[in-house]
Each structure stands twice: as C-alpha cells, then as structure tokens.
Amino acid sequence: MNTVSRLLNNITDKRMDVLSADQIVNPTKNGNFIIVDEEGMIQYKSDDCFIDSYVENNIKSISELQSDPDLTLILKGMKYNKTERLSIELLIYFLNNTEVKDYVVQISKFTLLKKKLFLLFFEENKVYKVFENKINTLQFALEKGNIPVLIADEDYRTKYITQNFEEIFDKNIEDLYDKPISEVLIDFLKESDESILLHAIESKSVWSKVINLKKTNGTNLFYDINMTPVFDSALGTWNYILSAYNITDHILKNRNLKKSEARLRAIINNISDGLFVLRKQKNELTFVIGNDIFFELFNISTKDYEQIKIEDYLDTKALEIINDSISVIETSKVKYLTDSYHQTGTDRHFEISTTFVEDKLDEERFYIITLHDVTAKEKYERHLESAYVKEKELNRLKTLILHNMSHELRTPANAMMGYTEIIEDAINEKDYETVSQISTSVKEVLGKLISLFTNIIELASIESGEYELEIVRINCNQVLQSVYNKRIDDAERKNLDFVIDTKDRSLFIKTDWIKFEKVIYELVDNAIKFTKEGSVKIESYLNALNEAEIKITDTGDGIENSSLKKILEPFQQEDEFYTRSYEGSGLGITISHKLTSILGGKFSIESRKKVGTVIKLTFPSVSPKPTIEL
C-alpha cells in the first residue's frame, strides 16, 4: 500500500502533457504495476513488468490476462460500486497455462486529466506473506505480552486494536474500529480532559491520563493511558499509538501506604509528648517524621517538614543531648537513654528520651526521640523544696516566738507578782505612798502587755487580709508633731537629741489617720529604743518626684545588711531571743512595713553597723482641701 500511495501521489502531482509517462511514474523502479482505463486498456506498465513474459507479443488489455478471479470483472465491479481501493489475492496463468503464480493485487482508482484510470500493483504472494507473517508475529507478541495497543491514523481514527484493549473497554472491535480517539475514550474523560486530548492530537504531542474502570463485579481497575504521535517518513503521515498499562496494584499500594501513613500520623499526633524520628544512613542524620506537638514546640511549619534540617530548629543544648545519646547507643549495648533539657528562651523543662529501630533490609537505623514535658513536675518539686525550707523556718520561728513570747509575758508577769507583794506589805504597814508609786509601775507593765496583745491582733488582721481602712486627706506633719510630742520625754530620759524638721508647714497625703500614726509611732519607738546615745530625727519634705517623703534617722547600733530582710518578719530582731540586748516582741517594724504597703506607700530601710539606721516612707502627695473625704 505504501508503494501504491507513493505512485498515486507522484502521478497526481505532475502534468502528463509536460512529462513523459515514464518520468511521471517510473523515475525509479517501483515494482510490477500497470495503469489501465475503465475499459481495461493498458495505458502504462512499469519496466520489466511481469506481463512482458506472459506472451511473446505485448498485451494491450487486461482481458488478455488469464486470472482467477477475472480482473476484468473486478474492475467492472469497482466501477459499478464506486469503490476507490481494493486489495485481492489472485492466480495468474503463464505460457499457455503451464505456470501459475500467486499475486496480491492492490487496485486504486484515480483521475488524471479528467480521465478515470486504475492503478494495479502486483506483488508476489510470497513477499506479501513475509510481511503478513511479520504483522501476525507482532500482533501475536502484543497479545501474548498482554500489552494493550490502539493505533489511529492521521485522521485520529482507530485502525488497529489489540484484543486486550477491547477487553479493557469491554467493547467489541465493531464498537471501536474507525472511531475517533476522543470517542473511544469519551466515557472516561471530563470536558477539560477531552480538550487537552484534542489539543495534544492537533499539536502532535504526548498525552497521558489515568482512568478508573468500575467493573460489573464492583472491582475498580486503574489504567495509565499514554498516547504517542509517530511520524511515518515513507508516507509523510502521522499515526497515533495508544498504550494502556494496568497500574491498579500500584494505585492500591499507594492508597494503602497513604492510609498507613495517615494512621501512623494519627497515632503519633495523639501522643502527649513531642516526638520525632531521625534516619541515620551513611553517618548522616535526616528528619523523617514528627508529631504536631513537636512542630509546635519548635515553631516548625507542618507543610515543609520533608525539607526540615533539624539543626535549624533545635537549640545547641538539645542537639548536644541527642548527638551524645546516639553516640552512646552506637558504641554500647544501651538501647534507651534519657536526659534533662531546659528549652532555651522559655521556662519549659523536658526529659529527652532516645531509642532506635533497625531496618536491616536497607541498612538504616531510625532514632526515635521523645520530649516529655516535666515543667509542672519541676515546678512542683521546687515548690515542695521551698515549702520544706519554709516549714523548717516556720518551725524555727515557732520555737523562737514561743521563747520570745514567754520572755515578753513572763517578765511583766513576774514584775506584777513582785509589785503585788510590795503593795500587800505596804498596805499592811499602811504605807500608802509606796502603794501609789507601785501602782504607777503596775500601769506601765499592763500598758506594755496591752501593747503586745494589740500588736499581735493587728498583725493577725493584716495577715488575714481582712483589714478595714478609713482613707482621709490629712496633713502628715500634724501626725509627726503629735508622735514627737508623745515621745519627747522618753528621748530626754535617755539624753538623746530628739529633733523634728518639717520643711513644709503643710504636707498632705490621703491615708488612714490612725494607721499612719501607728506606723510613725512604732518607727520612732524603735529608733529611741535602739539608740543608746546620739540623736533621733524626724523629717518630712516633698522629694524631686513631688511625693511626700518622711524620714526617721537614728544613730543607734545599726543593722547588718544580711539582717535587714529578716527584721521585717514577725517577732524578729537582729539578735535572737537568747542573745538580744533589747526588750520587745519585734512586731513594731513588721507592722509598720506591712501597714505602709497597705496604705499605698513605699517603705525602705538603710543601715550600717555602729553608724545608725535611716527609714524612708514615701506617699503620693495631694493638694489640701478644707473638707475630709471618706
């Protein structure tokens, strides 16, 4: 057929009136062929055509050929049926029927210079049989090799289909032959897919598509359909070869793999600890997988986890722990290691655990690292430790308080007992003057006891948080002057230089008058008590921040810096009860410190041993008003 097509193209592309017939048809030898008209008259024959040996004289018409079937009748039938092409096998008898040859004749009708002609191309059947055998062998190989193939011509129509291709689409050859490719595949293509296929055909480009076939038994099959355009240089035409590959197993394996991965990810994402896996191959660690908690801990995007370089996200300490654990595991029989880790830049604490599994097939080792959050545990342990230390301190304070209180209570009680005996003797002797003097001393002792109990109740009220205040606008200098007047006699009895210096006549603050006066009284009382000689000074002024500042300065023994915090606690003096040089419960400065904070002020203390102490109270100043605000 290729030869016939070339002959026809050669003939119809040239003009008979310009070139000879030999130039038109036979520029090179094309084989055995003749050209006849509709009456069967021979118009042209190829060089060395087989009919030259048929008889001694050249024949003029095909009617002179003895063939079975008769060529004359065949041509008449083609003319009557308007058949353009025909290929038949016939027998031709030579030399008075003494020799018979088998030919395949390809007949094609064409028009040249308005004249209808037939081209008859003769090919000995043994040559044709060789090609036929080759074609049959190729088809057999395709069928037995289970390779579904469909071939379409330049008009995109199906011309060859293997049986297994028919089986894929569950159609007979009659349903597929001479059908456009797009029509064959229409049941498996979306509108957009069909457009892509047509574009690939027109542009002579490769096309592929995975289709899903649902069989009547409910089975799903998947095929990868590939189309490859092939150019036939001999004919100058394009053919389209479609092949189909059954990828059902591949698809199902991928689906099962994805399901397994999804199940694995669901499992590890439900683990409360951070978890990730590293692969070690050829001494290199690469990231494999991690759960959501791990990604959250180290601010890693789950979209890019396959490209993660673990060293870009973990801090130096974590990497050091992991690398050290892996080194130990590799060089020993240890299979599981745990270490403590404090995440940089946070207050979170973890236990990093490292173990591994072997993949002997690929000679790989997978290290599984978990991060167990022990922050709450660490805090709880620190809390227990702190509580234990505090409990020990409370026990010590309890002992100290009991001894202190026993001293503070026993001393006045003993004094009272002594005074009552003196009073009793004086009454018996009718020495009423002595009774009067002793009564004054008894009042002082009772006053100290009442003051002690008052302070204990006051402190308990402060500590409970149930402390009521009556805030008013006051001139704090009036309170300072009042306290000064109450304690001047005590200071003079100790020969102390007791001074008050209010730089501004009026200095107003908003506070509870009674509580504020108690703070000042206790601080002045302490200053006088702990100063053997020198001075005690009360000052008030507006500081640079426009705040009211009250300063109480003494030249007493002073306090070590290490003891400044301690003396602000209840029942504390710098000296413990068995070494203290001064009487008192140690509650005064504690109450003053706590009350100052409750009243909205700031309390600070500075002291140097053998030099003295300075206590500063700072309150927001307010403008004076004639009315009192409750």
CATH of the domain at 449: 1.10.287
pLDDT one-digit tens code per residue, 288-336:
888 888 888 888 877 666 667 777 788 888 888 888 888 888 888 888 8
Q: What is the pTM of this model?
A: 0.41
Cα–Cα distance between 566 and 350 in angstroms, integer?
36
The answer to whether position 135 is within a domain reads no
The residue among 38, 39, 44, 46 whose CA lies nearest residue 3 is: 46
CA neighbours closer than 13 Å in the CB half-sphere of residue 115: 15
Cα–Cα distance between 603 and 601 in angstroms, integer?
7
Return the SS3 of 355. strand
**Least confident interval from 442-456, 539-553, 566-580:** 566-580
Percent of the chain with pLDDT strictly greater than 70 = 80
**Least confident interval from 128-137, 282-291, 320-329, 586-595:** 128-137
Residue 373 and residue 352 in contact, taking contact as beta carbons nearer than 8 Å: no
Instruction: Note whether 382 and 354 are same-domain residues.
Output: no
Predicted pLDDT at 37: 92
- Burial class for 475, CB neighbours closer than 10 Å (0-12, 13-18, 19+): middle
Question: Domain ends where: 193, 228, 246?
Answer: 246
Residue 161 and residue 181 in contact, taking contact as beta carbons nearer than 8 Å: no
Predicted pLDDT at 578: 35
Instruction: Note whether 418 and 490 are same-domain residues.
Output: no
- Residue 620 pLDDT class (50, 70, 90 cuts): very high
Burial 613-625 (b: 16+ CB within 10 A, else e): bbbbbbbebeeee
Residue 66 and residue 90 in contact, taking contact as beta carbons nearer than 8 Å: no
- CB atoms under 10 Å from CB of 570, counted, come to 21
The answer to whether position 136 is within a domain reads no
Cα–Cα distance between 385 and 391 in angstroms, integer?
10
Above 90 in pLDDT, residue 609? no
Residue 528 and residue 557 in contact, taking contact as beta carbons nearer than 8 Å: no
Instruction: Note whether 101 and 206 are same-domain residues.
Output: no
Q: Which residue has the tokens 């009564």?
A: 439
Question: Domain ends where: 229, 246, 263?
Answer: 246
- Residue 516 pLDDT class (50, 70, 90 cuts): very high
The answer to whether position 203 is within a domain reads yes
The answer to whether position 30 is within a domain reads yes
Q: Where are the alpha helices (DSSP H) in 204-315?
A: 248-269, 292-297
**Least confident interval from 93-102, 137-146, 170-179, 433-442:** 137-146
The answer to whether position 444 is within a domain reads yes
Instruction: Note whether 274 and 330 are same-domain residues.
Output: yes
Report the CATH number that the domain containing residue 201 is assigned in CATH: 3.30.450.20
- What is the span of the domain harbouring residue 53? 2-123
Q: Which residue has the tokens 């050829």?
A: 282
Above 50 in pLDDT, residue 580? no
Instruction: Note whether 107 and 47 are same-domain residues.
Output: yes
Instruction: Note whether 473 and 616 are same-domain residues.
Output: yes
- Domains in the chain: how many in total? 5
Instruction: Note whether 438 and 492 are same-domain residues.
Output: no
Instruction: Note whether 201 and 330 are same-domain residues.
Output: no
The answer to whether position 128 is within a domain reads no
Above 90 in pLDDT, residue 23? no
- Residue 629 pLDDT class (50, 70, 90 cuts): very low
Predicted pLDDT at 582: 42
pLDDT one-digit tens code per residue, 409-442:
667 777 777 778 788 877 887 777 777 777 877 7
Predicted pLDDT at 295: 83
Instruction: Note whether 473 and 454 are same-domain residues.
Output: no
**Overall residue count recorded for the chain in this entry:** 630
CA angle 409, 415, 420 (to 5 degrees): 125
Predicted pLDDT at 376: 85
The answer to whether position 129 is within a domain reads no
**Least confident interval from 245-249, 290-294, 486-490, 566-570:** 566-570
Report the CATH number that the domain containing residue 591 is assigned in CATH: 3.30.565.10
Find the mean pLDDT for residues 562-568: 68
Instruction: Note whether 45 and 169 are same-domain residues.
Output: no
Residue 495 and residue 474 in contact, taking contact as beta carbons nearer than 8 Å: no
Q: Which residue has the tokens 């290929």?
A: 87
Instruction: Note whether 297 and 198 are same-domain residues.
Output: no
The answer to whether position 571 is within a domain reads yes
Instruction: Note whether 530 and 613 are same-domain residues.
Output: yes
Question: Domain ends where: 356, 373, 390?
Answer: 373
Q: Which residue has the tokens 């029927």?
A: 97
Residue 330 or 361, more confident: 330
